[in-house]
Amino acid sequence: MVASALLNSTKSINLTQCMKVLVTQNRSFTSHLNEQQLAVQELARNYTNQYLKPRASQLDLQGRFPFDEIKHITKLGLMGACVDEKYGGLGHDYLSLAIAVEELSRGCASTGMIVSIHNFLYANLVNEQGTPEQKERFLSDFTKGSIGCFALSEPDAGSDVANIKTTARRDGDYWILNGKKSWVTSAVEGSATAVFATFDPELRHKGLACFLVPLDAEGVFRGKKEPLMGVSSGHRAATACDLTLDDVRLPASCLLGQAGDGFRIAMRQLDQGRIGIAAHAVGIAQASLDTAIAYAKERVAFGRSLTALPSVKDRLADMCILVESARLLTWRAAAHVHSKHSAMAKYAAGRAAAAAAAHCVQVLGGRGLSTRYDAERHYRDARGTQIYGGVADVQKRLVGHFLLKEHDAL
């Protein structure tokens, strides 16, 4: 009787509605990695353990850009992990790249961030949106050592992308760009950047365009490395600076897509970028957990190791849950790219990194504040993951928006 009634009620449901629900819920994700993804994980993990992690503290203390490390990572193919093989890349999927970013960030957060932004926000953008001519000029060299950047934020436009003030004026077969960009990661060392500008401010987001700009072009001026959070800045080995564009004259071939596509391109790339930052944050959170466990095993208090103390066990358990939860959300976002998934991953991973790093400092006690131990570096590195790539507050709003949209509740 019950089964018959259930079957009859099911028949009355519109099939299209059922399919829509199934598609939007998208519950087919599996956490099992394939052979390629496992190989990338092992590659990045081995490099991190042998070469990157031992150098991370010195890179951080000296504030030295990791040129040698990036050169090695380039030789491993990871500076073009998702780029077509024709242009020197590995042709891998986003999940493989996210796994690599996590492993690199576990060893050195600065290096992980550089690799993340170069790939997710620049190389993938040109690889997927560029013309063959643009790929030859702005991609081929960027799998061989040149570094790419992403210039979206401005002094008065960050989360509010439609408020961009940088202008693009058409002049025959050229575009002329004027304006200022802020917080451009790796611009001090980079060779080219994607720049977003408005050709009609009245159109707001519909008036945006994206340009590929050589950083040595006439009229492009790089500012000094931006000091972050005072002397104790996180990611000391990475750089960010302002870019000033003063009558930068670009051939029309530097326009990515069409005029008016800028907002769509930016949003699509930010979905990818948030996956990269989430993976970066998971790496920092894992490093915090590793550091706390290693210290707790060796430190003796009250006649026994810290691992025997219930309060320490509770902290380590909390850290483990935070790391594993954030990792699964990040892997899902990389496997099924969607604005909600990316926002969820970045929000959860950023919070996990900050909380895990705080727990790590607490487990180490006074030593957690010393630059001779890794805990304070993880603490500094973790804080930025809740800001760059989209602040945590906005990510939470995005999750709510897309959740209600999926359930036709807006």
Q: How many residues does the chain have?
A: 410
> To which H or E segment does residue 300 belong?
strand 300-301
Q: SS3 for 168? A: strand
Task: Give 297: exposed, middle or buried? Use CB within 10 Å, 0-12, 13-18, 19+.
Answer: exposed
Amino acid code (one letter) for 362: Q
Helix (H, G, I), strand (E, B) or coil at 269: helix
Instruction: Give phi and psi for 122, each to the nearest 5.
Output: -115, -65
Give residue 3's pLDDT: 44
According to the model, what pLDDT value does residue 334 have? 97
Q: How many CB atoms lie within 10 A of CB 10?
A: 9
The C-alpha atoms of residue 245 and residue 176 are separated, in whole angstroms, by: 9
Provide the phi-psi class of 307: left if phi over 0, else alpha when psi is between -120 and 50, else beta.
alpha
Tokens representing 239 are 């750089």
R_g of the chain, CA atoms, integer Å? 23
Which domains are assigned to the chain?
Answer: 35-143 (1.10.540.10), 148-259 (2.40.110.10), 264-406 (1.20.140.10)
* 357-378 b/e (C-beta count within 10 Å ≥ 16 → b): bbbbbebbeeebeeeebbbbbb
Strands (E) located in 107-216: 148-151, 167-171, 174-185, 192-198, 208-214
Contact (Cβ atoms closer than 8 angstroms) between residue 276 and residue 120:
yes
Q: Which tokens in the block code for residue 211?
A: 């340009």
d(CA 298, CA 194): 48
* Residues 160, 201: Cα–Cα separation, whole Å: 13
Whole-number pLDDT of residue 227: 59
Give the pLDDT confidence score for residue 163 in this predicted structure.
Answer: 87
pLDDT in tens, the chain (410 residues): 444 443 444 444 454 444 444 444 455 677 889 999 999 999 999 999 999 999 999 999 888 999 999 999 999 999 999 999 999 999 999 999 999 999 999 999 999 999 999 999 999 999 999 999 999 999 999 999 999 999 999 988 777 788 899 999 999 999 999 999 999 999 999 999 999 999 999 999 999 999 999 999 999 999 987 655 433 345 678 889 999 999 999 999 999 999 999 999 999 999 999 999 999 999 999 999 999 999 999 998 888 899 999 999 999 999 999 999 999 999 999 999 999 999 999 999 999 999 999 999 999 999 999 988 999 999 999 999 999 888 999 999 999 999 999 999 98
Is the separation of the CB atoms in 293 and 283 below 8 Å? no
Q: How far is CA 151 from the centre of its chain?
A: 14
The pLDDT of residue 272: 97
What is the pLDDT, as a whole number, of residue 53? 96
User: If we measure between CA atoms, which residue out of 249, 241, 242 comes closest to residue 177?
Assistant: 249
Q: How much is the pLDDT for 231?
A: 34
The answer to whether 319 and 289 are in contact (CB under 8 A) is yes
- Determine how many CB atoms are found less than 10 A away from the CB of residue 218: 9
pLDDT at position 143: 98
pLDDT value of residue 364: 96
Confidence at residue 235, expressed as pLDDT on a 0 to 100 scale: 61
pTM, two decimal places:
0.90
Which ranges of 120-171 would DSSP assign to H, the alpha helix?
Answer: 124-129, 132-138
**pLDDT for 200:** 95
Q: How many CB atoms neighbour CB 35 within 10 A?
A: 7
